[in-house]
Structure 1
Amino acid sequence: MDIRHHPDDDLLLARSSGHLPAGMRLVLASHLELCPLCRERARTLDAVGGILLDDLPAAPMADDALARTWNRIDALKDVTPAPVRASAPPPLPAGARWPAALAHCSATPWRWIGPGMRWSRVSVPEAPDANVFLLRIAAGKYLPQHTHQGTEFTQVLHGCFHDGRALFGPGDFDAADGEINHQPVVQDGSECICLASLDGRLRFDGAIARFFGALVGM
């Protein structure tokens, strides 16, 4: 797999420090599954974070801090967690696979949003408000021109698209924000399937696109 687009070090550091929202963390994790280069970079940053943590001065704690911690752990033993009902992911074409990072999540069947365009809502049990979804767009089709209210993480699972900046293919990762105004166009030869997470909403240039985007939470 020829992966050409990767998360930058700031994003990997945000992951290592636990500062990424759950949905974006899952999209980034799906990239790390496929990219040995980024996995090695992430391991390095994890190790650096551990060293920095060891060098921090000790923080004072209350005398009963340990006892209160054990009491809270004991209380959790009496709580029966609600069962997680993870529905099977929607079917994918040959050559695409459901990322292992999302194995505990559930997803809706493919839903029509326009000619040659379908989507699936992904539910993240530990973060019900996370805006995570799959997009499946036929060859030659495109998303309307848009920018971003917040940040959008996209991981290509199958096929490829060009958005005016670059060509993105299987395994590629993209992070776009309000400074990016683009129109992803799926290239000839195959449909394109992407996993995406939004922090905020897309800002479509056209009124009709804004209407349909609001319906599906984009």
Structure 2
Amino acid sequence: MDIRHHPEDDLLLALSAGSLETGTRLVLSSHLELCAHCRERLRTLDALGGALLEDALPAPLADAALDRVFARIDALEAAAPRPIKVSAPPPLPEGARWPRALARCTATPWRWIGPGMSWSRVSVPAAPDANVFLLRIAAGKYLPQHTHRGLELTQVLHGRFHDGRALFGPGDFDAADDGIHHQPVVQEGSECICLASLDGRLRFDSPIARLFGSLVGM
């Protein structure tokens, strides 16, 4: 797999520090499953963080701090993991697979949002407010032109799209904020399936697209 687009170090550093929102973490973790280069970068950042902790001055903890930690661990273990449930679409094309990062999540069947376009809402049990979804767009089709309120992360699971800035293919990662104004166009030869998260909303140029976006939470 020829992965050309990777997350910036600030995102990997936030992942290492445990400070990412759930949706962002899921999409970033999905990229790491496929990208040995970024896994190595993350290991380096983890090592640097560990060295800084070793040099930090100790801080006193509350008497009940350890008990609270164990209680939270017990609560997480009590939540039974559930596999992703995507019943409507056929199996993914050969060579593509659903990310392991979604193992505790559920997903709706594919829902029509336009000619050649469908989406699936991903529900995260530990974070019901996380805005995570799957997009499936046919070859030659495109998302309406838009910018963003907040950060949009995209991980390509299958196929390719070009958004006027670059070509994104299987395994590629993209982070777009309110400084990016683009229109992803799926390339000929195959549909494109992506995992995405939003910490805001897409700002579509077209009023009709804005209406559809508001209905599906984009």
TM above 0.5, yes or no, is yes
- Counting only pairs closer than 5 Å after superposition, residues 57-68 of structure 1 correspond to structure 2 as 57-62=57-62, 65=63
The alignment status of 1:213 with 2:213, answered yes or no, reads yes
Letter in 1 for 2:210: R
What is the identity percentage for the equivalent residue pairs of Structure 1 and Structure 2? 73
Q: CA deviation at 1:92?
A: 2.2
Residue in structure 2 matched with residue 155 of structure 1 by the alignment: 155
Residue in structure 2 matched with residue 123 of structure 1 by the alignment: 123
CA spacing shift, 1:54–1:211, aligned 2, 3 Å:
same
Aligned partners of 1:89 and 1:98 also within 8 Å:
no
Aligned partners of 1:6 and 1:173 also within 8 Å:
yes
The superposition leaves residues 156-208 of structure 1 with CA deviations (integer Å, 9 ceiling, x where unpaired) of 00000000000000000000000000000000000000000001000000100
Unpaired segments ≥5 residues, structure 1: none
The alignment status of 1:70 with 2:67, answered yes or no, reads yes
Q: CA deviation at 1:104?
A: 1.1
CA spacing shift, 1:164–1:37, aligned 2, 3 Å:
same
Q: Count how many residue pairs are aligned between Structure 1 and Structure 2.
A: 215
Unpaired segments ≥5 residues, structure 2: none
SS in 1 for 2:214: helix
Q: CA deviation at 1:8?
A: 0.9
Question: Greater shift after overlay, 52-61 or 165-174?
Answer: 52-61
CA spacing shift, 1:139–1:46, aligned 2, 3 Å:
same
Letter in 1 for 2:121: R
Residue in structure 1 matched with residue 48 of structure 2 by the alignment: 48
SS in 1 for 2:43: helix
| CA RMSD, 1 decimal | 2.1
* Aligned counterpart for 2:86 among listed residues 82, 86, 89: 89
Q: CA deviation at 1:96?
A: 1.7
Aligned partners of 2:84 and 2:104 also within 8 Å:
no
Residue in structure 1 matched with residue 37 of structure 2 by the alignment: 37
Residue in structure 1 matched with residue 139 of structure 2 by the alignment: 139
Letter in 1 for 2:198: L
- Distance (whole Å) between structure 2 residues aligned to residue 76 and residue 115 of structure 1: 46
- Counting only pairs closer than 5 Å after superposition, residues 20-35 of structure 1 correspond to structure 2 as 20-35=20-35
TM-score normalised over the length of structure 1: 0.92
The alignment status of 1:202 with 2:199, answered yes or no, reads no
TM-score normalised over the length of structure 2: 0.92
